[in-house]
Structure 1
Amino acid sequence: MSLSTLSPHRRVVAVTLLIPALVALALWAFAWPAARTAPRDLPLGVAGPTAATAPVEQRLERQEGAFDLHHYADEAAAREAVEDREVYGAVVVTGQGPKLLTASAASPVVAQLLRQAVTQQTSASGSRVTTVDVVPAAEGDPRGAVLNTSVLPLALAGIGAGAAVTLLGLRGTRAVAALAGSATLVGAVAAALAHSWLDAVPGNWWTVAGTFALAALAMGATVAGLAALLGRAGIALGGLVIMLLGNPFSGASSAPEMLPEPAGAIGRWLPPGAGVSLLRSVSFFDGAAAAGPALTLTWWAALGLGAVLVGGALKERTRNTRSASEREPAPVG
């Protein structure tokens, strides 16, 4: 039953209750993770001899649940772990004092948090911390603002493409072609702006464009697939998943490990979060840790496009069956 079939009185009640409910949901989805941002099992390396690193580990572990510590034999191993996106940073204990390795490209917010935390932990001993940004953010976007804000336009592009395909009545292979073509152009436009013009997303231009395109396709296919199976209600459901869950739970402005659970875990498995993670990997880390988010986006795209084809086939079969029944002559006598 749709809202248009309700009586005027019930429509007034529905609008009166529905809008505040949507506002409450949006505020919860966006404000809750932002208000509870803090490190939760944030991967952090500690490098050096065990006897020398033990006091550092003990001080870091006092912040219960904040860090997931990984031990490395020396600075070279810790640096490699940062470059491979195994950890967000590492504390290296040297004879000249502690050294902090960070990767602002992975998250400027996390890099700043690590500097503050390690400096605070070592200030009691009178040591000065030397900080080395192993994988720095782009010179044109040192705070990662462009990468962070790219999530919303991609989400809007995906929702818009899925809705347009549905409302224009495209089905089957035509719908798949429209979604793929739209995503390809979105990827090219996004790369032209973020990579070529703003110089905020480095790396190979085609790889960056392909990442943007795959993320847009995953989101557009999700919305169109749900609409193909559920009708226009699928557009609303897909929009809620992409915009009200995927966008704020993506961890784009900080990191998934900085969000309250289960927001961080959910965000990793939704297209916006996977898209941001893949974009960081291919732009700054030579593809390190790219397999997981790439596979996530591929699954969303494949399932969505599959639903589009299945939904189109079912509607075509229903229409053919109805047409055949209408053509059958009525029995005489």
Structure 2
Amino acid sequence: MPTAPNRRAVAVILLIPLLVTLALWAFAWPAARTAPRDLPVGVAGPASAAQQLEQRFEQRAGAFDVHRFDDEAAARTAIEDRVVYGAVVATPQGPHLLTASAASPVVAQLLREAVTASAPEGAPVRVTDVVAAPPGDPRGSVLGASMLPLALAGMAAGSVVTLLGLRGARAALTLVASASLAGIAVTAIAHNWLGAFAGDWWAEAGALTLTVLAIGSAVAGLATLLGPRGIGLGALLMVLLGNSFSGVTSAPQLLPEPVGTIGQLLPPGAGGSLLRSVAFFDGSAAGGAVLTLSLWSLAGLAAVLFVRRTPSPAPEAPAAPAREPALTG
């Protein structure tokens, strides 16, 4: 039996379990270790009462990053600017919890449970959702489910551009045009049909376009630099790690370190943060995500535009066997 097919069979036998293990680690490990880690929250009210609230948060070492505000108005502004996920205001009637389910329904529920558990027995806890998730998607399911299709769309664009042999300006224009149409289509579905987004329509389409462009450009750029192996590396970074480390279904601060930080440096995580900012918070705290996505897009497009891969030389045809001259009589 030939050795080459044997080697390929062994490679497949070993590769499939390796990929399954890697995928399970990437998706299941962060989900199993979800917990607050330096989660930004606020306290407000009179100094003595606010200090007591702050001490209750600090009892869980490393779980919360507590910000002090003078009053409820300042705490509300910080929530709307995405400085904190929520805040507790000390009032004569008891603690008043301010949340933002649009920022993360998971965090909003976590804060509600934490404040209720730490409140004095019998003290009512009033809860106000400062930036509520839209009625069409109260649990944020659509936004959480949108990242994988966006990653697949970017992967498809970068892979097809590479496999079709498009180069230079034609490849760059193809990536930009496909990302733009994908952004418009997804916005039409999520905003107009499902009612899951509540921000400016064109800002949402721009955020989705930039996300798909960053992923597609990165994949095409890696393929330009590394050949077909670049597509595999792009799939690993954008789909497997980028999607599972994005924190879009919960919050980056709920993922184990350094997963939360890595996820925000990859296009799916940055795209999820940018989309949440423009869809619910009028673009607040969107600068870092825009910068991350722009760098990925520019780096990938630069590789597509300016890097020229020298094709590998074609194997030489085997020389025809020499023929002996015919014997003459």
| 2:14 pairs with 1:35 | no
1:169 corresponding residue in structure 2: 165
* Structure-2-length-normalised TM-score: 0.93
1:325 corresponding residue in structure 2: none
1:187 corresponding residue in structure 2: 183
Whole-angstrom distance in 1 between the partners of 2:101 and 2:124: 20
1:268 equivalent among 264, 268, 271: 264
2:285 corresponding residue in structure 1: 289
2:68 equivalent among 52, 66, 71: 71
- CA shift at 1:126, angstroms? 2.7
Whole-angstrom distance in 2 between the partners of 1:278 and 1:12: 44
How large is the Cα RMSD of the aligned pairs?
1.6
| 2:116 pairs with 1:91 | no
After alignment, is 55-64 or 108-117 more displaced? 55-64
> Does structure 2 conserve the Cα–Cα contact (< 8 Å) formed by 1:48 and 1:92?
yes
2:115 corresponding residue in structure 1: 118
**One-letter amino acid of the structure 1 residue matched with residue 199 of structure 2:** G
| 2:97 pairs with 1:138 | no
- CA shift at 1:6, angstroms? 7.3
Whole-angstrom distance in 1 between the partners of 2:261 and 2:199: 27
**One-letter amino acid of the structure 1 residue matched with residue 57 of structure 2:** L
> Does structure 2 conserve the Cα–Cα contact (< 8 Å) formed by 1:208 and 1:282?
yes
Could you say what secondary structure the match of 2:68 adopts? strand
Could you say what secondary structure the match of 1:150 adopts? helix
- CA shift at 1:8, angstroms? 1.3
2:58 corresponding residue in structure 1: 61
Whole-angstrom distance in 2 between the partners of 1:118 and 1:18: 47
Whole-angstrom distance in 1 between the partners of 2:30 and 2:98: 27
Could you say what secondary structure the match of 2:36 adopts? coil
**One-letter amino acid of the structure 2 residue matched with residue 54 of structure 1:** Q
Query: What is the CA deviation profile of residues 135-191 of structure 1, one whole-angstrom value per residue up to 9, with x for unaligned ones?
Result: 000110000000000000000000000000000000111110110010010001000
Query: What is the CA deviation profile of residues 267-286 of structure 1, one whole-angstrom value per residue up to 9, with x for unaligned ones?
Result: 11110010010011111111
> Does structure 2 conserve the Cα–Cα contact (< 8 Å) formed by 1:281 and 1:290?
yes
* Structure-1-length-normalised TM-score: 0.92
- CA shift at 1:206, angstroms? 0.9
> Does structure 2 conserve the Cα–Cα contact (< 8 Å) formed by 1:46 and 1:78?
yes
More helix by share: 1
2:21 equivalent among 16, 19, 24: 24
> Does structure 2 conserve the Cα–Cα contact (< 8 Å) formed by 1:154 and 1:215?
yes
Whole-angstrom distance in 1 between the partners of 2:49 and 2:184: 50
Could you say what secondary structure the match of 2:31 adopts? helix
2:197 corresponding residue in structure 1: 201
Percentage of identical aligned residues: 63
| 2:216 pairs with 1:220 | yes
Query: What is the CA deviation profile of residues 51-93 of structure 1, one whole-angstrom value per residue up to 9, with x for unaligned ones?
Result: 1112222222111211110000110110100000000000000
| 2:258 pairs with 1:259 | no
Could you say what secondary structure the match of 1:7 adopts? helix
Could you say what secondary structure the match of 1:81 adopts? helix
**One-letter amino acid of the structure 1 residue matched with residue 185 of structure 2:** V
Could you say what secondary structure the match of 2:245 adopts? helix
1:159 corresponding residue in structure 2: 155
**One-letter amino acid of the structure 2 residue matched with residue 291 of structure 1:** G
1:100 corresponding residue in structure 2: 97
* Moved beyond 4 Å, runs of 4+: none
2:48 corresponding residue in structure 1: 51
Could you say what secondary structure the match of 2:83 adopts? coil
- CA shift at 1:50, angstroms? 1.6
- CA shift at 1:310, angstroms? 2.5
Query: What is the CA deviation profile of residues 107-149 of structure 1, one whole-angstrom value per residue up to 9, with x for unaligned ones?
Result: 0000000000000000x34311100000000110000000000
Query: What is the CA deviation profile of residues 187-234 of structure 1, one whole-angstrom value per residue up to 9, with x for unaligned ones?
Result: 010001001111101111111111111100000001000001000100
> Does structure 2 conserve the Cα–Cα contact (< 8 Å) formed by 1:103 and 1:111?
yes
Q: Larger Rg: 1 or 2?
A: 2
> Does structure 2 conserve the Cα–Cα contact (< 8 Å) formed by 1:60 and 1:121?
no
**One-letter amino acid of the structure 2 residue matched with residue 58 of structure 1:** Q
**One-letter amino acid of the structure 2 residue matched with residue 106 of structure 1:** A
1:327 corresponding residue in structure 2: none
> Does structure 2 conserve the Cα–Cα contact (< 8 Å) formed by 1:172 and 1:308?
yes
